[in-house]
Structure 1
Amino acid sequence: MIDQPTASALFTPFTLPCGRVLANRLIKAAMSDSLGDGTGHPCDAQMRLYERWAEGGVAAALVGEVQPDHHHAEKPGNLVLNAQSDLAAFTQLAQRGQQHGAELWLQLGHAGAMAYPPTSTPHGPSALDIPGLRCEAMSLEAIKALPAVMATTARLARDAGFGGVQVHAAHGFLLSQFLSPLFNQRTDDYGGSLDNRMRLMREVIIAVREAVGHDYPVMVKLNSSDQLEGGFEEAEALQVIAALDELPIDLIDISGGTYFPGASSASDASASGPYFVEFARRAREVTTLPLMATGGFKTLAQAEDAVAQGAVDLVGLARPLALHPSLPTLWRAGECPAPEFPRFSAPPEGGVTAWYTLRLTQLGEDREQESLGELETVLADYEARDAARAETWNAHFADCLRD
């Protein structure tokens, strides 16, 4: 049974279809915190980061882009969870991130065409050769193998004690690429019609559910659109949401946009309000599943209104929680209703993302009072850290292959 919102809806419990009860309606949405140690394992700063969000009052937090293997990671700071991983390290992360009644969920990721070239050979549904992005087409064998690989990571997440998993089908990563007619030009059973383009996502969801059982939260993150001409558009997104209604999932997390080179990012938009609430209202008409929207929530009033008016059941917060990890507790007390966000003048491409990523590192190291410096310096530091981690990644996984 799904709880009905009340006048103070943000701080009422919510029951997912699988029976799991969340303490409130505020979720730390998935971000690529890039705090893995370079071998696919969590470091202490990452554990402390999720511990702080749990202390701060979120109902649940998502760890972004957890990979099933090392072949198609989005960054060398991603986590990798498979049979070769040190499960004890992941168990410790789950324990530290699930204090004070909070849940910690893993987002099942695969970057596909956007895999980090220094550590990967990018593969997508179709071969691409465009400025800033080249990839090979996935073989049919690799496509058919993916659901079982994702399911293994989901089962290990449950074994390690994490509270749930999210299948990532948004932001231009692999499953999102399959959904998009702009990037999926296959002519087999995984391309062409929308039903074919959503086939892999459907197979992953079913395999994950079979791996974790019926009483474990399984969610899906979906684009409302790619925000690219010729890409995945809102009309098709609504059809996918209607189809998801027939699958064994607990929550649809609605977002949008891609991280393809040169594409505009929803998270860098200048609009003052939430980006996807109006689309969520339309989605309500085609699904009975709980809905969450992630993107653009900046004030307590915006979050309250979205839930109280029934547009969404849960609110996904990312950058606000990078600024104030205790924001849910502050909002419950009526404090900090409109957090002040940093303003960047003419930022270099990738600079804002780099700033927020290194802000997460500060939070995990309890030194957020320090200045990060000029954006150009921040971007250089961010890229240098990725380069150093890439060396660690390549050496570690080369050794694994030799073992």
Structure 2
Amino acid sequence: MDTHHKASLFQPLELPCGVILKNRIGKSAMSDSLGDGRGDPTDAQIRLYERWAEGGLAVSIVGEVQGNPHFAEKPGNLVLGPASDVERFRALARAGSINGAQLWLQLGHAGAMAHPPISDPKGPSALDIPGLTCSALTLKEVRDLPSEFARTAHMAKKLGFGGVQIHAAHGFLLSQFLSPLFNRRDDKYGGSVTNRMRLLLEVAHEVRTAVGPSFPIAVKLNATDQLEGGFHEDDALAVVAALDETGIDLIDVSGGTYFPGAKSASDSAGSGPYFFDFAEQARPLTDKPLMVTGGFKTLRQVTGALDRGIDMIGLARALVLDPSLPSKWQSGAVDDPDFPRFQDPPEGGITAWYTMRLTEIGEDREEAKVGDLHEAVRTYEARDEVRSGIWKERAWE
């Protein structure tokens, strides 16, 4: 790799709020499923983010941190609220911010896709379709959401986290409001894309008010939800232009959805970044830094995106395979991570394997071998079942 091209990857990035990220590599939000079932961090989770910080990245984002325990995506999610074990959260914040790294919390709310065993799913509109049933949020419940996100962000700042990311992608609540498939409301939060993005813009405004001017706020946004009749690129570009007028610091472009039966973008057999073309279309519409997440598998792909106007690269599975990849890239010790090849994986098997590897990294016992994907699914599901029981036994405030 040409050292000139690689140098761009290790240039600092100053965010609009004034915070400086030490390089252009971010660990994008993943549902690591390492909470203890009571919404608090485990030792393995704390060590996982410490290892990523040791590995040389600029920022890690903890996926799906709930402000409201009643709409969680999984029983391994963290819940940050009045009943949280704040010392565990402080320990997580400290561990994930060593070596000049930042640790941000992704503000999550699963909405219609909240995990039924531990919740009562509610979305923008009532739905009853195969694999997904939910009731509709009332207008008051919708109006209360921005302050709920803001409270969680304020608490994250108070406990020592470096920033927050508002989750408006992958089919979770704010993404549901953006999508005409989920959002069939006839009030000011439904209909036109201007109305469908209203809640996201209100959340962004209230979060900024809560945390002040110098605390990083990112938004994760779908380029497309990859569903017929859903959120598409023209709408997404309109949202990017609107976000340019807000006080956020970074737009993280991703795509796809966890809608039942939909193919995960991250399970694609494609060899290149999935949403880079959209990011190039979005670039003239905003002065906000742009991060692109999804499908980066080689150092050349990463540096090529930076050379064409992208500001940050979001890596997920590459950093699960090698938590020290940024440092190795910088030293020239390695060019590309070694992605495993899966033959005829069972449904959910690839995701389960990567998720269980996160546990191995957090326990400092990861191995090079892939192992059996069916066993990974069984282990993953059994752990969720145990944590679902713990979750339901807790008296949530």
Same fold (TM over 0.5): yes
Cα deviation for residue 382 of structure 1 reads: 0.5
Which amino acid is the alignment partner of residue 140 of structure 2?
A: E
Q: Alignment partner of 2:70: what SS?
A: coil
1:274 aligned partner: 273
Superposed, which structure 2 residues align to 1:254-293 within 5 Å? 254-293=253-292
1:102 aligned partner: 101
Partner deviation per Cα, 1:150-208 (whole Å, 9 max, x = no partner): 10100000000000000000000000000001110000111001111001111111110
User: Does 2:47 align with 1:80?
Assistant: no
Cα deviation for residue 83 of structure 1 reads: 1.7
1:242 aligned partner: 241
C-alpha distance in 2, partners of 1:373/1:10? Answer: 33
Cα deviation for residue 52 of structure 1 reads: 0.1
Q: Which moved more, 1:191-200 or 1:80-89?
A: 80-89
Which amino acid is the alignment partner of residue 253 of structure 1?
A: D
2:362 aligned partner: 364
- In structure 1, the gaps of 5 or more residues are none
Which amino acid is the alignment partner of residue 101 of structure 1?
A: G
User: Does 2:129 align with 1:138?
Assistant: no
2:307 aligned partner: 308
Q: Alignment partner of 1:27: what SS?
A: strand
Cα deviation for residue 336 of structure 1 reads: 2.2
Question: Is this contact kept in 1: 2:126–2:136, CA < 8 A?
Answer: yes
Question: Is this contact kept in 2: 1:61–1:105, CA < 8 A?
Answer: yes
Report the aligned-residue RMSD: 1.2
Q: Alignment partner of 2:99: what SS?
A: coil
Q: Which moved more, 1:373-382 or 1:36-45?
A: 373-382
Question: Is this contact kept in 1: 2:39–2:78, CA < 8 A?
Answer: yes
Superposed, which structure 2 residues align to 1:4-403 within 5 Å? 8-310=7-309, 312-369=310-367, 373-396=371-394, 399-401=395-397
Cα deviation for residue 248 of structure 1 reads: 0.4
C-alpha distance in 1, partners of 2:370/2:318? Answer: 17
Which amino acid is the alignment partner of residue 179 of structure 1?
A: L
Question: Is this contact kept in 2: 1:27–1:317, CA < 8 A?
Answer: yes
Question: Is this contact kept in 2: 1:224–1:255, CA < 8 A?
Answer: yes
Which amino acid is the alignment partner of residue 334 of structure 2?
A: C
Question: Is this contact kept in 2: 1:14–1:22, CA < 8 A?
Answer: yes
TM-score, structure 1 normalization: 0.96
Question: Is this contact kept in 2: 1:42–1:89, CA < 8 A?
Answer: yes
Partner deviation per Cα, 1:129-164 (whole Å, 9 max, x = no partner): 111111111111111111111101000000000000
Which amino acid is the alignment partner of residue 363 of structure 2?
A: E
Count, aligned residues: 394
Question: Is this contact kept in 1: 2:340–2:370, CA < 8 A?
Answer: no
Question: Is this contact kept in 2: 1:372–1:378, CA < 8 A?
Answer: no
Q: Alignment partner of 1:29: what SS?
A: strand
Which amino acid is the alignment partner of residue 329 of structure 1?
A: S
Rate the CA distance shift 1:365–1:7 in 2: closer, same or farther, 3 A: closer
Q: Alignment partner of 2:285: what SS?
A: coil
Q: Share of identical aligned residues, percent?
A: 61
Q: Which moved more, 1:336-345 or 1:72-81?
A: 336-345
C-alpha distance in 2, partners of 1:39/1:77? Answer: 8
Rate the CA distance shift 1:400–1:133 in 2: closer, same or farther, 3 A: closer
Partner deviation per Cα, 1:192-241 (whole Å, 9 max, x = no partner): 01111001111111110000000000010000001110000001100110
Cα deviation for residue 323 of structure 1 reads: 0.4
Q: Alignment partner of 1:147: what SS?
A: helix
Question: Is this contact kept in 2: 1:252–1:289, CA < 8 A?
Answer: yes
C-alpha distance in 1, partners of 2:218/2:311? Answer: 13
Cα deviation for residue 338 of structure 1 reads: 1.8
Question: Is this contact kept in 1: 2:69–2:396, CA < 8 A?
Answer: no
Rate the CA distance shift 1:352–1:253 in 2: closer, same or farther, 3 A: same
Q: Alignment partner of 2:380: what SS?
A: helix
Cα deviation for residue 316 of structure 1 reads: 0.2
- In structure 2, the gaps of 5 or more residues are none
C-alpha distance in 2, partners of 1:113/1:372? Answer: 34
Cα deviation for residue 370 of structure 1 reads: 7.2
Cα deviation for residue 400 of structure 1 reads: 3.9
Q: Alignment partner of 2:116: what SS?
A: coil
Q: Alignment partner of 2:166: what SS?
A: strand
C-alpha distance in 2, partners of 1:113/1:400? Answer: 20
Cα deviation for residue 372 of structure 1 reads: 6.0
C-alpha distance in 1, partners of 2:368/2:251? Answer: 37
Which amino acid is the alignment partner of residue 170 of structure 1?
A: A
Q: Alignment partner of 2:235: what SS?
A: helix
